[in-house]
Structure 1
Amino acid sequence: MQSLDSKREIAKLGMSVSLLTCVGSAFFMKNNSAKTIHVLSGVALVGFSIWHHSLYEKK
């Protein structure tokens, strides 16, 4: 079982990588593969953001 801090770091890394991929693929939107990567990385960014948010206690 991973510690809470490890999960938070993985979520942050996932958000960073998916954001970088989303922004990078935006420059090549005329290509169908780039469009697919752009959409999937956007979905991944939302998923990692929700996961990251869920790792913190509500006050």
Structure 2
Amino acid sequence: MKSLLARFAKDESGATAIEYGLIAAGIAAVIVFIVNSLGTKVNNALKTVNDNMK
């Protein structure tokens, strides 16, 4: 049982996949923040154009 736990603790085969997943999640969070910010600015600009056309 001890050797099984020791082998499990030393096994790093899934570490790279987890790291790539964390990087992808971080990039996705940044993209969501940027799109949300730009969406608000575009919405305000279009509202201003709409108000000026009335």
**Given the two structures, how large is their TM-score scaled by the length of structure 1?**
0.46
Higher relative contact order (CA 8 A, sep 6+): 1
* TM-score, normalization by structure 2: 0.49
More helix by share: 2
